[in-house]
């Protein structure tokens, strides 16, 4: 639910950013990406706190354990193993890790989509010959050996 709410916020931010004209397209792109990445990191941190709360409610960790640390280690699949869950709750760690992997994948997809859309928008409003113009995107035009080999695809 947290990630879904943040996704809606990120999409709204990306749409607002698309409507803005800018004289500084690189700064604009960096600003959008920093805002999106920050929101996603906050979402992940909040999700870890929810897992820590769940651990506290069910008593999944030994007494005196740092539940936020334990949740972070599981969520990020770091797996130090220095805190061992209570026997009856052993599967909560892998469930937390599975959730973390899914949420990081979701975040990666969202970041990539915002980057792609922002780049496409900036290319659509770019001055000819500018950094974001389609002439500088290095896409093969069709015929010739470069089109099939991929030569010049990533300038």
Cα angle at 22 between 18 and 24, to 5 degrees? Answer: 120
Neighbours of 31 (CB within 10 A): 14
What's the pLDDT score for residue 148? 45
Cα angle at 27 between 24 and 28, to 5 degrees? Answer: 80
What's the pLDDT score for residue 73? 93
Neighbours of 133 (CB within 10 A): 15
Buried-exposed string 114-124: b where 16+ CB fall within 10 A, e elsewhere: beebbeebbbe
Give CA–CA dist 24/17, Å, rounded: 13
> Model-level pTM greater than 0.95?
no
What's the pLDDT score for residue 104? 96
What's the pLDDT score for residue 139? 52
DSSP code at position 71:
H
Q: What is the token pair recorded at 155?
A: 């300038």
Match 């113009």 to its residue by tokens.
133
**Do 131 and 125 meet the contact criterion of CB atoms below 8 Å apart?**
no
Long-range CB contacts (< 8 A, 24+ apart) of 87-95? 89/55, 89/58, 89/59, 89/60, 92/54, 92/55, 92/58, 92/60
What's the pLDDT score for residue 99? 96
For residue 107, which of 28, 33, 51, 30 has the smallest C-alpha distance? Answer: 33
Collect the ranges in the chain with pLDDT lower than 50.
Answer: 140-155
What's the pLDDT score for residue 142? 45
Q: What is the pLDDT of residues 30-47, one digit of tens each?
A: 888 999 999 999 999 999
What's the pLDDT score for residue 57? 93
* Residue 72: its H or E element: helix 67-75
């Amino acid at each position: 639910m947290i990630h879904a709410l943040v996704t809606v916020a990120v999409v709204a931010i990306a749409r607002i950013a698309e409507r803005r004209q800018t004289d500084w397209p690189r700064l604009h792109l960096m600003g959008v990406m920093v805002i999106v990445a920050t929101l996603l990191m906050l979402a992940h941190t909040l999700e870890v706190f929810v897992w820590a709360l769940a651990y506290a409610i069910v008593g999944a960790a030994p007494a005196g354990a740092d539940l936020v640390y334990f949740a972070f280690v599981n969520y990020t699949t770091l797996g130090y193993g220095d805190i061992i869950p209570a026997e009856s709750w052993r599967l909560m760690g892998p469930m937390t890790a599975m959730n973390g992997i899914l949420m990081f994948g979701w975040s990666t997809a969202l970041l990539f989509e915002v980057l792609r859309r922002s780049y496409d928008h900036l290319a659509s409003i770019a001055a000819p010959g500018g950094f974001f113009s389609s002439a500088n995107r290095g896409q093969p035009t069709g015929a010739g050996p470069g089109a099939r080999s991929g030569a010049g695809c990533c300038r």
